[in-house]
């Protein structure tokens, strides 16, 4: 069996260190565990790779990090000598071995003659995205597993525009990786030697200052912050991650005086010991923040995930309870705030565009229609928003990016970064809350006002985890079944149209007509219903999950919630049948 052969190869290799061999020796009698670790190589896609930390080809470790980086190095070298001279920026978050993996990547790049800039300590994803363009680099790497549990780490790859590696480049890197022997073909240089030769350079404060200056430039109403600064309080938690310093710095820079940090979650902690998962989408992680908010009588709690590209908030409702606002709700609030305030100040460009992903709230469309601003849909994944920004620039800025977001708590204002930016989002959320405070409103009340203005849209998400080889096979079977046996109705409501983004087609169920969907191919199925509700099924690109997205509309929040409960149950039954 191939996985047994691969296991023995690692045990016998002179390259593998003794600690790794000891770890592997402990599973020598567990064939199932050997299979899980060695039945495949950890998948590299447009977002890079992500996996459980440990020994094996299907795990994150110094050898898999080196192999992937060798593939990146060979692709960069194939772009010419100038590309190698431009170099690569490497950043990392607070996870187990993130700093080790970052330096291993730098040592491989340096061994291939590629100049590498490594941040002096943990930094958020948007700071890396900014640094790629600021330094004129050809590429960037972030060692992170975003908001995954502590046992995971990962590798995000970026290209010269500061956006995640585009599909064609990712395919070329993958082709290079697949030809590399993990032990024989990887070049590595000693860290000290690389530094002496000027191939590895440490960067820090100066880049931070430039990044934060660009973030601050996205502030629209600094005067409202000054108006309420003396008595306006915010609770902030970085969930033990990279947001701690930059978020606190930017909030201070815009004039906020009362930002209270959750001390237990302030410092880097790879175990994320105060939460089950460091995910700002989960209310559970905010328990310490809620207790502090009650003590300090605070209306707004902001949290960022470990690599600070996602932001979650909690607000106090009219029953004095702290509730989570979804990524869709925050995105809609920000869209309305940015468009309304830019319009009022005469800053809203005539050719402005709002960009969202296909699984993000259609309420955004109602908002943009009100302000007569164009809206664009892209596939799930912030890299597609970044690609649109690049496209606008290459087309002479005939369209101007104003704001982009995705339902999974990722937002970007400005073009200083080309990935979701938790730092600029935290700043704008705080400023927006300050603006509403001058109107005597909380963000909870602001959301209710938008429902009255635009109608009630309610979204939800369900992730079904299916780990390992068996899980991958089950996910593939679900997608195949839905394609071959497309649901005609959900409950009593007819399915009116079906989009298969893999083949780029939208099918009208009633007439049988079809049209082309002008988006890249992706394994995503989108079902439209007669009552304007919809649901989407797609495998996650970074986790062993199949994701189900749901949306309903109604006249009231209560009606929408009742409708959602019935809808989710009916859709889930169809998918898992």
Query: Which residues are known catalytic residues?
Result: 146
Report the distance separating Cα 500 and Cα 375, nearest Å. 21
CA distances to 56, 263, 302, 477, 550 from 35, in Å: 10, 42, 42, 21, 36
Helix (H, G, I), strand (E, B) or coil at 217: coil
CA distances to 19, 288, 412, 490, 495 from 569, in Å: 48, 32, 33, 10, 16
Which token pair is 234?
């915010």
Rg (alpha carbons) of the chain, rounded to whole number: 24
Long-range residue pairs from 382-385, CB within 8 A, at least 24 positions apart, any chain:
382/164, 382/309, 382/406, 382/410, 382/412, 382/419, 382/420, 383/46, 383/47, 383/163, 383/164, 383/165, 383/166, 383/419, 384/357, 384/520, 385/355, 385/357, 385/412
Residue 484 and residue 499 in contact, taking contact as beta carbons nearer than 8 Å: no
Count the alpha carbons within 13 Å of 370 in the hemisphere toward its beta carbon. 16
Report the distance separating Cα 119 and Cα 201, nearest Å. 9
Report the distance separating Cα 555 and Cα 520, nearest Å. 35
CA nearest to 212, candidates 30, 402, 44, 424 = 424
Report the distance separating Cα 51 and Cα 61, nearest Å. 9
Report the distance separating Cα 241 and Cα 112, nearest Å. 31
CA distances to 291, 320, 322, 324 from 316, in Å: 12, 6, 4, 9
Q: Which residue has the tokens 């009916």?
A: 570
Report the distance separating Cα 218 and Cα 212, nearest Å. 10
What element of type H or E holds 92?
A: strand 88-92
Residue 91 and residue 119 in contact, taking contact as beta carbons nearer than 8 Å: yes
Q: At residue 461, what are phi and psi to the nearest 5 degrees?
A: -140, 135
Residues 6+ apart with CB under 8 A from 69: 104, 105, 108, 109, 141
What element of type H or E holds 464?
A: strand 456-465
Q: At residue 51, what are phi and psi to the nearest 5 degrees?
A: -170, 180
How is the beta sheet containing 311-316 ordered, strand by strand?
258-261, 233-237, 300-304, 311-316, 322-325
Report the distance separating Cα 101 and Cα 113, nearest Å. 19
């Amino acid at each position: 069996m191939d996985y047994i052969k691969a296991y023995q190869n690692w045990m016998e290799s002179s390259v593998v260190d003794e600690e790794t061999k000891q770890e592997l020796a402990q599973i020598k009698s567990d064939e199932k565990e050997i299979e899980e670790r060695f039945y495949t190589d950890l998948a590299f896609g447009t977002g890079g790779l992500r996996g459980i930390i440990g020994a094996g080809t299907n795990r994150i470790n110094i050898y898999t990090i080196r192999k992937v980086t060798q593939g990146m190095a060979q692709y960069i070298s194939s772009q010419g000598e100038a590309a190698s001279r431009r170099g690569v920026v490497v950043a990392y978050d607070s996870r187990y071995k993130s700093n080790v993996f970052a330096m291993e990547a730098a040592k491989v790049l340096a061994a291939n003659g590629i100049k590498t800039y490594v941040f002096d300590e943990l930094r958020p994803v948007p700071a890396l995205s900014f640094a790629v363009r600021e330094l004129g680099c050809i590429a960037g790497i972030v060692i992170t597993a975003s908001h995954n549990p502590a046992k995971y780490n990962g590798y995000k790859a970026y290209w010269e525009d500061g956006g995640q590696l585009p599909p064609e480049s990712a395919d070329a890197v993958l082709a290079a990786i697949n030809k590399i022997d993990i032990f024989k073909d990887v070049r590595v240089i000693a860290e000290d030697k690389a530094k002496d030769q000027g191939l590895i350079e440490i960067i820090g404060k100066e880049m931070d200052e430039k990044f934060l200056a660009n973030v601050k430039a996205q502030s629209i109403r600094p005067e409202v912050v000054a108006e309420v600064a003396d008595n306006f309080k915010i609770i902030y938690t970085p969930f033990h991650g990279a947001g701690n310093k930059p978020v606190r710095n930017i909030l201070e820079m815009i004039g906020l005086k009362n930002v209270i940090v959750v001390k237990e979650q302030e410092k880097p902690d790879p175990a994320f010991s105060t939460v089950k998962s460091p995910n700002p989408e989960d209310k559970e992680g905010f328990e310490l923040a809620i207790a502090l908010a009650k003590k300090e009588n605070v209306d707004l709690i902001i949290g960022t995930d470990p690599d600070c590209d996602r932001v979650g908030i909690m607000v106090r409702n009219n029953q004095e309870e702290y509730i989570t606002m979804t990524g869709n709700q925050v995105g809609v609030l920000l869209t309305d705030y940015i468009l309304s305030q830019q319009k009022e100040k005469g800053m809203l460009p005539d050719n402005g565009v709002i960009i969202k992903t296909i699984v993000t709230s259609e309420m955004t469309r109602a908002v943009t229609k009100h302000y007569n601003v164009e809206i664009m849909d892209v596939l799930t994944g912030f890299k597609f928003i970044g690609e649109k920004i690049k496209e606008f620039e290459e087309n002479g800025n005939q369209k101007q990016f104003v704001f982009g977001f995705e339902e999974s708590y990722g937002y970007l204002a400005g073009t200083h970064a080309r990935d979701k930016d938790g730092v600029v989002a935290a700043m704008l959320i705080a400023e927006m809350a300050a603006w509403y405070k001058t109107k005597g409103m909380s963000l909870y009340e602001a959301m209710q006002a938008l429902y009255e203005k635009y109608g009630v849209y309610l979204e939800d998400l369900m992730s079904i985890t299916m780990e390992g080889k068996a899980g991958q096979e089950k996910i593939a079977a679900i997608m195949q079944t839905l394609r071959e046996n497309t649901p005609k109705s959900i409950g009593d409501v007819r399915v009116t149209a079906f989009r298969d983004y893999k083949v780029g087609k939208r099918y009208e169920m009633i007439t049988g007509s079809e049209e082309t969907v002008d988006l890249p191919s992706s394994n995503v199925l989108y079902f439209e219903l007669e009552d304007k509700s919809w649901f989407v099924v797609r495998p996650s690109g970074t986790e062993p999950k199949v994701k189900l997205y749901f949306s309903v509309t109604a006249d009231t929040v209560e009606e929408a919630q009742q409708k959602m409960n019935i809808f989710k149950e009916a859709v889930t039954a169809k998918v898992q049948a």
